[in-house]
Structure 1
Amino acid sequence: MSNPIVKSQVEEVHTFLEKTVANLEDYLNNVTIEMLLKEKHGDRAYYEGILSNMRRLLVHCEEGLDSCHIVLQNEPFIKRAAEKTLYRIYHQCIEEFFSPRYDLWYEDSRSAYTGRNSIMFRQELPESIVNLMTAAEGDFQQTREELEYYETDFRTKITQSRG
């Protein structure tokens, strides 16, 4: 891919991450376990795990946002650094969203056929969490589709350089 296309992709991912970080930060800065338990009585440890996974996702997204910012500030634009950044964002942010640590939620691979959301939780959750994840899912899905190229391309380049 040419530099303008890669740069445009980094700009789009930067915008996606800005929105994602803002939404996650806003939610996590304003919610407590007690609030969640009042909203919907449930398993406290599960709620704590969900919030922990969300904080982990937030950290990855903040790091990706910082990386995009640095790549976009470089003059001249360094295509290789941009591609590596997009590859890392794919694995650290996108994959973390769809397959989080500890498997407290998972992606239903049949969702594409059913027209429902793909994120499924192992237990029932308060609507505030479900709404946050549902709202984020479309952007994560779109970004995943756009970044899959970098995942494949980067692995191919690594394999070729070793050979």
Structure 2
Amino acid sequence: MGNTLVKSQLNDVKEFLKKTSITLEDFLNETTISQMNLENEEDRNYYKLIFSNLRRLVVYSEESLDACAVILQSEPFQKPAAEKTLYRIYHQCIEEFFSPKNDAWFEDSRSAYTGKNSIKFYRDVAENLHQLVKGLEGEFQRIREELEFYETDYRTKMIQSK
């Protein structure tokens, strides 16, 4: 891929990460588990799992945002570093959103065929939490489709360099 295309994608991803970080941070700063009026300890533990994953996403997004900014400011443009960063963003941010390590929620792959949101919670969640994830999903899906190329391309380059 040419430098211009990679740089353009890095700029697009940077803007996505900035919006995502702000949205998640605003939600986490304004919302507590205590406000959720949970009925039992199981629900409380489930929300702790969800909030933990959301905090992880904020950290990954902010770290990746910083990495994008550094690469975009460097002259000359470092295409290999940009591609490696996009690969890392795909795994740390995008994949973590659709398939969190702590199983706070899951992606229903059949939803792509029905036109419904693919993120499903294991339990009923508060409407504001449901709306947050629903609101983020479309952009995460768009960026995932853009960055899937780096998943296979970067691995191929790593194998060929050995």
* Same fold per superposition (TM over 0.5): yes
Query: Is 1:84 aligned to residue 118 of structure 2?
Result: no
TM-score between both structures, scaled by the size of structure 1: 0.96
> How many aligned residue pairs are there?
160
Matches within 5 A, 1:117-136: 117-136=117-136
Matches within 5 A, 1:1-163: 1-37=1-37, 41=39, 43-162=43-162
Q: Distance in 2 between matches of 1:56 and 1:94?
A: 12
Q: Distance in 2 between matches of 1:89 and 1:28?
A: 21
- What's the offset of the Cα at 1:35? 0.8
Query: After the TM superposition, which parts of structure 1 deviate over 6 Å for at least 4 consecutive aligned residues?
Result: none
CA distance in 2, matches of 1:92, 1:62: 11
Offset of residue 59 of structure 1: 0.5
By how many angstroms is 1:98 displaced? 0.3
Structure 2: gaps (5+ residues): none
The alpha-carbon deviation at position 58 of structure 1 amounts to: 0.8
Deviations 1:91-112 (A, max 9, x none): 0000000000221200001001
Deviations 1:115-142 (A, max 9, x none): 1100000011001110000000000000
Identity %: 59
Q: Distance in 1 between matches of 2:114 and 2:94?
A: 22
CA RMSD of aligned residues (A): 0.9
Residue 71 of structure 1, CA deviation? 0.6
SS at match of 1:101: coil
- Hey, what's the Cα distance between the residues in 1 that align with 2:135 and 2:104? 18
Hey, what's the Cα distance between the residues in 2 that align with 1:28 and 1:70?
27
TM-score (norm 2): 0.96
